[in-house]
Structure 1
């Protein structure tokens, strides 16, 4: 996720990867129409009996109120590299093209200012759109795409809080009961209908932009919550290595680009998703859930 969303957890994930902690972990849970979860098979697993893996040093403990941001919450800002390193490879390609060399958080403040961002999908506008929100979402007063990411918002008194939402392919941080918020040792991705009831209850840190089929097609677990039982040990897919892409040699770094969600092309794409006009459809829906408008992402040549 780009700043200022979930940055404490994002930095933890970099720490795990650079410590090679993720190497040789496994996929431990596959719950149909819900999530695939991976990590240490002996951590917070009702089906496991082994010892847990020691965590690396330097991890952040992130408070629950960092699930949301007001774009100026310094408590949820952590020491990280420049804004380009905060972006996923998809966002980085677009940000390079735009030469947006502004500080993390300031990018959103410039948009936020004294007015909320305006809706950029014309066919979902309502009479309150110019105020910066609309009421077509069941889980939040307002939803929108920010820099290619699906986000939601609510107003409390005069302040607005924003958060990313649980769409298909989004990656979240597993946790125990409150006040635990998770470290990043356990991660999951959504493989079914968007579980939006998890929004603001678990940190979202990114999304899968390539290879999703390798996770969604895994055999389902028969244990509690879809965990693999000890008898299903052979179903636990090993994860051999995890590396930070920006740490790789430049010619080995995977590059992606996304369709700008501020563009006229994206507005037309969103309209097409909401109003199917091909011959098969009899009654176009006239609208679309934010999770039913996946932002197109594609690989780009490296070199």
Structure 2
């Protein structure tokens, strides 16, 4: 009886921190980059201190027509030599053709489509959604699909990609069907969820968002640069499958359909690190960023 009492009063095992969850992850908790739907954008001239690499994962499940068009544009070198045109504080960094409004000077689109339907939503039914149990102010249901933050309305059977930090969308004019992927932006500020279901989201930045978010801010006109020399040039954009394997970024992305991901959410919801005084018991969809890591080198 004494032994039983001692066992029953033993302290429960300590729950792991986020770092400990990731440290204990298994190899199959991580997935490689898909080279056919990942873009590498090189910004700035060689040696430019403001330049660097931005790695973008596309979302064909949610915006198939736009993603296909962007891939065509990239493979035909549409973006090479264009520029970052706009950096609006706590909002977006945007890139594209500075002469896009000029019929005479605009860069030709080649084989890419000039007009696409808006792709704001997809059916929820059948999506492999890893649900987030926490309440969201913007949608009845939230979670992740393929590592992308997703919001949904089950009654309407609709789901959409949420405008979280690092999300990449296709800029448009007033008509809903006026985007085609030639003008893209990345969210660099607090998640502007009011844009959800108003713009076609085409992907997310996996690495390099620190570069985009630290660029000099533009002028009073929504952050557009006033002078051409303020713009940061796009040296090149490539689909990873265009590059030799040894020149592709060697990154892995944590899968969001695993026990490790669920444990990581709990560790972030209730922080166990000694610094934290209060555990919130809650996490927002856009606070739960999906980790990446360098791909382990193969054993020699």
State the TM bucket, normalised to the shorter chain. Answer: 0.7 to 0.9
Q: Deviations 1:20-78 (Å, cap 9, x if unpaired)?
A: 1100000110000000000111235xxx9x932222233163323x3111168xxxxxx
Note if contact 1:255-1:302 (Cα within 8 Å) is conserved in structure 2.
no
The aligned residue for residue 39 of structure 1 is 96
TM superposition shift of 1:271: 1.2
The aligned residue for residue 25 of structure 1 is 82
Note if contact 2:268-2:283 (Cα within 8 Å) is conserved in structure 1.
yes
Q: 2:121 aligns with which of 60, 65, 68?
A: 68
Note if contact 2:176-2:198 (Cα within 8 Å) is conserved in structure 1.
no
Matches within 5 A, 1:162-177: 162-177=159-174
CA distance in 1, matches of 2:279, 2:214: 30
User: Secondary structure at the residue paired with 1:184?
Assistant: coil
The aligned residue for residue 145 of structure 1 is 144
- 1:53 is aligned to 2:50: no
The aligned residue for residue 93 of structure 1 is none
User: Secondary structure at the residue paired with 1:270?
Assistant: helix
CA distance in 2, matches of 1:183, 1:265: 37
The aligned residue for residue 182 of structure 1 is 179
TM superposition shift of 1:213: 1.5
CA distance in 1, matches of 2:171, 2:154: 27
Note if contact 2:66-2:180 (Cα within 8 Å) is conserved in structure 1.
yes
Equivalenced residue count is: 241
Q: Deviations 1:97-156 (Å, cap 9, x if unpaired)?
A: xxxxxxxxxxx56x4xxxxx563x5xx36xxxxxxxxxx111111101112111111134
CA distance in 1, matches of 2:297, 2:63: 28
The aligned residue for residue 251 of structure 1 is 246
CA distance in 2, matches of 1:18, 1:71: 31
Matches within 5 A, 1:67-106: 67-70=120-123
CA distance in 2, matches of 1:207, 1:302: 25
TM-score, length basis structure 1: 0.73
CA distance in 2, matches of 1:153, 1:266: 20
CA distance in 2, matches of 1:139, 1:215: 26
Task: Write 1 or 2 for the structure with the bigger share of strand.
Answer: 2
User: Secondary structure at the residue paired with 2:138?
Assistant: coil
Task: Write 1 or 2 for the structure with the bigger share of helix.
Answer: 1
Q: Deviations 1:3-35 (Å, cap 9, x if unpaired)?
A: 421011101111111111100000110000000
Runs of 5+ consecutive residues of structure 1 not aligned to the other structure: 73-107, 112-116, 126-135
Q: Deviations 1:234-264 (Å, cap 9, x if unpaired)?
A: 2200001111111222332334211121222
TM-score, length basis structure 2: 0.74
Note if contact 1:31-1:227 (Cα within 8 Å) is conserved in structure 2.
yes
